[in-house]
Amino acid sequence: MPLVTARQLLDEAAKGSYGVGAFNVNDMEQIQAIMAAAEETKSPVIVQASRGARAFAEDRYLYHLMLAAAELHPNIPMALHQDHGNSFDTCKSAIELGFTSVMMDGSLKEDGKTPSTFEENIEVTRRVVEYAHPRGVSVEGEIGVLGGVEDGHGAGGSGLEHLTDPDQAVEFAERTGVDSLALAIGTSHGAYKFTKKPDGSVLKMDVLIAIHKRLPHTHLVMHGSSSVPKDLQDIVNKYGGKLKQTWGVPIEEIQLGIRHGVRKINVDTDCRLAITGAIRKVFAESPEKFDPRDYLKPAREAMKKVVAERMNEFGQAGHSGDYSPISLAEMAKGYQSGKLDTRPSLATSR
């Protein structure tokens, strides 16, 4: 199946009341792990790359790995998504490369660290939408600022400093026309999200629910949503790691979000922990090993297991064969005609 837009996957997820995991990649083994999990669970999937990943893997390598994945897994609907684009130029370059979906994270300035103003965010996000939609490419925006830093991106803090305001979320959706909207509800980038199992004092699911009631036609996105399972932490530490105990976003909270409009869930840290634990285990138990295949194969399998678990937990498992791909050209026609317009004033009238 050719690469499709995240918008098509999220529209179908909304019809089926499930979520779609968006898994970050940097190399071939991670892409293989994601696609093996998608095949095993019969799941549509969003594969996403950050600016750091694009620099690490080099754009052309990364893109052609994705084309290989599409060729080898013709029955899996798959979108290639730019994660946390920091500028119009970053998103434009992703679209020119062949990404089918982009995120313009205008919640931060171009340095990827300093919070921007509401008007600055609207202006740059709207500019990306105006460039992407005529090319059939879907756009994710963000309002509010997540906590933590990962891959050099983030403002730091706990995640509670710049929560999404529901009134601003509605205005943002109206003025930008984004396909999906990432919310700041207390989650953070990286492994160290919470110092205890999160409750309503640090994870503001009530904000998410309030926004969904007002934006029923805009797909919501949960960033910083790795669950950081203790068993994965324990494996890393058992074989020489020194992770401090931490808590991620419980699966039941993500599932609550899915019941209230969350259609895309970003997962990265869980995959990193699985890979690292598996590699540490090989090095500790078989220090004579030096063939990269001896540790990359179990690392790939460990990540596949985590991804498959999330696909089942998010509800996307079993839905890979539900629909046929829509080309970028057809998506562009849908945007031009207004059929795919998500702005509240227009979407609610249809």
CB proximity list for 23: less than 8 A, separation 6 or greater: 30, 34, 45, 46, 47, 48, 267, 268, 271, 307
Look up 83 and say whether it is catalytic.
Answer: yes
Nearest-angstrom CA–CA distance, 41 and 192: 29
- Residue keyed to tokens 């095993």: 40
Identified catalytic residue from 11, 27, 59, 83: 83
Please compute Rg for the chain using Cα positions.
19
Structural tokens at position 132: 């992407």
Please write down the HEC assignment for all residues of 262-311. EEEEEECHHHHHHHHHHHHHHHHHCCCCCCHHHHHHHHHHHHHHHHHHHH
Nearest-angstrom CA–CA distance, 113 and 208: 24
Residue among 334, 320, 344 at smallest CA distance from 75: 320
Question: What residues act catalytically?
Answer: 83
